[in-house]
């Protein structure tokens, strides 16, 4: 093997071994699952621990139609949301957020994670049906996977023609 090939292999190997993505033992899906768990428990501090300082969010809530920029502006949005979920007589209300149809696109020190919340029906139902779509963009920041962008949308599938009740 000639010297140029050896040097090239050495440079590529060193780049891979020092890649920021390899500096963390946590994978992007675990970060998204941690975010969903914190959201389910209405734990603002745990939720924000997964979010980069300069993250951008499109949140499908009535009071936030525009892009939210920066963790310091994202925090009050979720704080208000958690207050609106409220408490009941048995204790704090909790959501059961479980991802379905999860796909991950790994891009070195970045990743895109997409999934649905709720089951997407295979065919139109006799009643209108809603489900949620979520996209997270993650990037390794200071050796840790962080959410740098979130986009949520909710979809309503109309009832099958002639069958609604």
pLDDT in the model for residue 23: 46
Is 6 within a domain?
A: no
Query: What six digits make up the tokens of 151?
Result: 């986009």
Question: What gap in Å lies between CA 94 and CA 86, rounded to an integer?
Answer: 9
Torsion 77-79-82-88 (CA) sign: negative
The answer to whether residue 18 sits within a structural domain is no
CATH number of 73's domain: 3.10.450.50
16 in any annotated domain: no
DSSP symbol at 20: G
Residue 53 lies in a domain: yes
Q: Which residue has the higher pLDDT, 57 or 157?
A: 57
2 in any annotated domain: no
Report the run of H or E that residue 123 belongs to, with start and end: none
Into how many domains does the chain fold?
1
The answer, yes or no, to whether residue 93 has pLDDT greater than 70, is: no
> Does any domain span residue 9?
no
Domain assignment present for residue 17? The answer is: no
Centre a 10 Å sphere on the Cβ of residue 94 and count the other Cβ atoms it contains: 12
The answer to whether the beta carbons of residues 148 and 137 sit under 8 Å apart is: yes
pLDDT band for position 18 (cuts 50, 70, 90) = very low
User: Is the pLDDT at 120 greater than 60, yes or no?
Assistant: yes
* Residue 13 within any structural domain of the chain: no
- 106-109: long-range contacts at Cβ-Cβ below 8 A with a sequence spacing of 24 or more? 106/28, 108/19, 108/21, 109/19, 109/20, 109/21, 109/139, 109/140
* Range(s) of the domain holding residue 96: 25-157
User: Which residue has tokens 């060193």?
Assistant: 14
């Amino acid at each position: 093997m000639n010297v140029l090939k050896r040097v090239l292999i050495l440079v590529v190997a060193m780049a891979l071994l020092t890649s920021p993505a390899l500096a963390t033992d946590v994978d992007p899906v675990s970060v998204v699952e941690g975010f969903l768990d914190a959201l389910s428990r209405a734990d603002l501090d745990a939720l924000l621990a997964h979010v980069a300082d300069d993250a951008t969010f499109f949140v499908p809530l009535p009071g936030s139609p525009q892009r939210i920029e920066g963790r310091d502006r994202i925090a009050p949005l979720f704080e208000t949301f958690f207050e609106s979920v409220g408490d009941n007589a048995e204790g704090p209300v909790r959501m059961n957020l479980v991802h379905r149809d999860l796909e991950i696109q790994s891009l070195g020190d970045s990743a895109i994670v997409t999934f649905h919340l709720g089951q997407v029906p295979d065919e139109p139902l006799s009643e209108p049906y809603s489900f949620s779509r979520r996209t997270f963009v993650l990037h390794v920041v200071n050796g840790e996977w962080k959410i740098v962008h979130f986009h949520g949308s909710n979809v309503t599938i109309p009832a099958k023609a002639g069958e609604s009740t």
